[in-house]
């Protein structure tokens, strides 16, 4: 594969779960930007936000994306807000293929509760719907393809694997 596959979408859309599984199956490098930033700081996302603020967190995402330019192409699951910065959108478009993982809000709400996502779990349904409506046009504006992850995990998995194979991933 010559370029990265960047997964964008709302928290709880399935970016990390799908990306990790497809990368493992196709023996490709995989990186979850949120998990990486958590690992290098020793703090979870909520702690990073609390101690340093959103701007510092987003700066970390931008630095990480910039460093990936020279990395072996792989699947990269981005944080839900990564695509909100224009520089991040430019990097992703220039360095890879962008896949929007879309999922119904009801399914996202189930994952937010199940996975205890601190940044969204405290918000009500109306706020999550507002964020969804605000972000989806941004995600769609940079996506090369949109995958519907509302029809079951295995369907989303098969769709992402198909996209990766079309882009040159081999087993």
> CATH number, domain at 113?
3.40.50.300
Strand order from edge to edge, sheet including 4-8: 30-32, 75-77, 4-8, 96-102, 145-148
Residue 171 lies in a domain: no
Residue 127 lies in a domain: yes
List the domain range (segments joined by +) for residue 103.
Answer: 4-166
Residue 79 lies in a domain: yes
Per residue in 26-40, pLDDT (tens digit) is 999 999 998 999 899
In angstroms, the CA 113 to CA 106 distance is 11
Q: How open is the CA angle 33-109-112, to the nearest 5 degrees? A: 40
Residue 105 lies in a domain: yes
pLDDT at 114 over 70: no
Mean pLDDT check: name the lowest of 116-125, 143-152, 159-168: 116-125
Contact 100, 143 (CB under 8 A): yes
Once rounded to an integer, what is the mean pLDDT over residues 63-76?
91
């Amino acid at each position: 594969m010559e370029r990265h596959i960047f997964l964008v979408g709302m928290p709880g859309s399935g970016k990390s779960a799908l990306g990790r599984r497809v990368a493992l199956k196709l023996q490709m490098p995989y990186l979850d930007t949120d998990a990486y930033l958590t690992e290098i700081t020793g703090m979870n996302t909520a702690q990073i936000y609390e101690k340093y603020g959103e701007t510092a967190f987003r700066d970390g995402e931008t630095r990480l994306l910039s460093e990936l330019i020279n990395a072996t192409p792989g699947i990269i699951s981005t944080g839900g807000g990564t695509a909100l910065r224009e520089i991040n959108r430019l990097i992703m478009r220039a360095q890879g293929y962008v896949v929007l993982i879309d999922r119904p809000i009801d399914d996202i709400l189930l994952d937010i509760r199940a996975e205890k996502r601190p940044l969204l779990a405290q918000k009500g349904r109306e706020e999550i719907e507002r964020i969804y409506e605000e972000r989806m046009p941004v995600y769609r504006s940079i996506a090369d393809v949109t995958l519907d992850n509302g029809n079951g995990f295995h369907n989303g998995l098969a769709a992402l694997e198909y996209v990766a194979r079309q882009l040159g991933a081999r087993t």
